Amino acid sequence: MTGAKRRKGGASSEIRFYPNDPDAPVGLQSATPVHPSDSEPSFTIDGPRYAPAPYDPGTLAFQYWQGEVALARTIRVWEDLFERDFTQWHDGRPLRVKLRAGKDLNAFYDRKSLQFFYDVDKKTGRTVYAAESLDIVAHETGHAVLDVYQPGFWSTPDLETASFHEAFADCSALLTTLTDPAVRRALLEEAGGAWDRSNQVSRLAEALGRAIYDNYGPGALSDPTRLRDARNGFRYADPGSLSPSAGDSELAPEPHSFSRVFTGAFYDALVQVLARALKKMKGDEAIEHARRLLGRLLARAIEKLPPGVARYADIGALMRGTDQTEEGGLATAAIEAGFARHGIDLPALPGEKTGRKGRAPKGRVGALSPLRALDPERPGGLAAMRAALHLPPSAKLVRRAAPLRSREGWREQLSHVHEFPIRHRSLGRLNGIIVRVPCGCTLIRGGSGEVVDLTLAPHPHPGPTELLRTIRPWIRMDAIHPTRGARAPSREFFRERKPFRLTAEGLLERVYFD
């Protein structure tokens, strides 16, 4: 294997590039290679590094540049939206990228690599390469980005948290696609001001969706024009109450299906901001305004979320609270309308615009005695933190080793993970399975080290019935490899469609997100 070396500068020859999906109307565009910088998290693409040139789709040389540019664009989108650099991935090593990992109509992220597959559309005879779609590359990279900011979301069996991982990855595809000028022009022309219709940006992974429909029929996918559509009408329900056998046109507990609720709410809020901006700005400027505003609000919510579980309503409330404190409420009405359309109830806004957990205006940090009292660096702060998290005085709180820094300060997390065995005769071979139940706190510190924002996820102390209810949907979806201590490359679990494995002790561990 020859790694794709990182470099600065170099040749500026143009390449050909899909800024959306191979089946999106915008089609191939000319692009200048975006060379990753040393300040960005590194990735290594398997195979030779091809000289930049306008290669044909279907060739490894084309896929090399499609993959490198799509990865670099996605990384830069999120660094811009988070307004901070992150220099490494979850485990601190370069992310390995496999452009042709084998035959399948899918792709995955496993904390060590991004792997993209390919297969033949049996109806058209065309080979569909996942690595040729910016939608898919930006989606899988989105999983990796979220894993940097919220590593506690990885192995939790909580259905809504796993679904949010998928929704964030789809939002990553939307926000990255909308950075391209050709996509913006094509979108404005296609929409014609009617933002309540599906379009080439809201439709995700069109070529892959067509191939899945052609190869496996309408039972696998209800609409051959896409894999998923951000413009949808799905409404929130308790994911544990949904049927695992529900089809693509219905809502199911499976994370890709249930993710559509949050993705739909986010997209609806974005296009409402866009529609309003178009009354004051030119088309390209209005799209960039809406993209960066909603993207920043989502990024801020991710930064503030405590470790543990992700709830759609909590994320929406954090987005709206940040909009109130940092953006003057520009997107508040759109967020409320978008989330309401998808059945996600947000709490009423407080009378004073101070944001979640009482974030104060600049210059008043010292007045935030509740935050100071919970600061683990102050006398008594750690004990107060344990009490606020409903933990005993002896409970261990683990501080994340490498806080994410910015010019204004830094972010850090303290977490506690309790491992609960679940025993019930109905579990069969999985009887005694051990699941992690996390809790903790996210602190945002200013440049002086003072806590300026804080969010808590107290320990839920679940009982046996609640734990059993949490794990049953995954069992019904046959998502857990039943052999304890099974060791194999991630690709083998992926081929068996088993995103979870069990350690030798029976602890539930996630293997990949696809």
Q: Are 52 and 33 in contact (CB under 8 A)?
A: yes
Return the CA Rg of the chain. 23
Residue 3 lies in a domain: no
Same domain, 77 and 140: yes
pLDDT in the model for residue 401: 62
My answer on whether 299 and 442 are in the same domain is: no
Whether residues 331 and 449 share a domain: the answer is no
Strands 398-399 and 409-422: antiparallel
Residue 119 has a CB neighbour count (10 Å cut-off) of: 18
Strand partners for 508: 502
Residue 182 to residues 12, 22, 31, 171: CA-CA distances in angstroms?
Answer: 20, 14, 11, 19
| 98 and 213 both lie in a single domain | yes
Own/partner pairs for 7-11, CB < 8 Å, 24+ apart?
A: 7/35, 8/35, 8/37, 8/38, 9/35, 10/35, 11/51, 11/52
CA distance 328 to 353: 9
Looking at residue 447, its pLDDT comes to 84
The structure tokens listed for 416 are 């506690």
Amino acid 12: pLDDT: 55
What sign has the CA pseudo-torsion 188, 189, 193, 197?
negative
Q: Does residue 387 share a domain with residue 328?
A: no
Q: Which residues, 6+ apart, have CB-to-CB distance to 337 below 8 Å?
A: 268, 269, 272
Looking at the fold, whether 397 and 443 belong to one and the same domain comes out as yes
Whether 511 is covered by a domain: the verdict is no
Residue 122 maps to a domain? yes
- The alpha carbon dihedral of 290, 296, 299, 305 has a sign of negative
- Number of structural domains found in the chain: 2
At 96 the three-state DSSP class reads strand
The boundaries of the domain holding residue 286 are 15-341
Domain co-membership, 396 together with 299: no
**Considering the domain boundaries, does residue 346 fall inside one?**
no
Is there a single domain that holds both residue 197 and residue 83?
yes
Indicate whether 114 belongs to any domain. yes
342: left (phi > 0), else alpha (psi -120 to 50), else beta? alpha
Element (H, E) at 73: helix 60-82
| Same-domain pairing of 326 and 185 | yes
Residue 273 lies in a domain: yes
Helix (H) / strand (E) containing 152:
none
Supply the pLDDT for residue 497: 96
Q: Kindly state whether residue 483 falls inside one of the protein's structural domains.
A: no
380 and 332 in a common domain: no
Helix 283-304 and helix 60-82: axis angle, to 10°? 70
198 closest CA partner among 227, 220, 158, 169: 227
- Chain-centroid distance, C-alpha 106: 17
* Calpha distance 401→441 (Å, rounded): 14
Task: Let me know whether 337 and 377 are in one domain.
Answer: no
**pLDDT score, position 359:** 40
pLDDT at res. 407 = 65
- Distance in angstroms (rounded) separating the CA atoms of residues 187 and 365: 44
CB atoms within 10 A of CB 238: 9
pLDDT in tens, the chain (514 residues): 333 333 333 445 899 999 999 999 999 999 988 776 777 889 999 999 999 999 999 999 999 999 999 999 999 999 999 988 788 898 889 999 999 999 999 999 999 999 999 999 999 999 999 999 999 999 999 999 999 999 999 999 999 999 999 999 999 999 999 999 999 999 999 999 999 999 999 999 999 999 999 999 999 999 999 999 999 999 999 999 999 999 999 999 999 999 999 999 999 999 999 999 999 999 999 999 999 999 999 999 999 999 989 999 999 999 999 999 999 999 999 999 999 999 999 999 876 444 433 343 333 333 444 788 999 999 999 999 999 999 999 999 999 866 677 767 888 999 999 999 999 999 999 999 999 999 999 999 888 888 988 999 999 999 999 999 999 999 999 999 999 999 999 999 999 999 999 999 999 999 999 9
Nearest to 105 by CA among 18, 225, 209, 248: 209
Whether 364 maps to a domain, the answer reads no
Among candidate residues 414, 389, 386, the one with its CA nearest the CA of residue 401: 414
The number of C-alpha atoms within 13 Å of 449 and in the hemisphere containing its C-beta is 4
Q: Do residues 173 and 261 share a domain?
A: yes
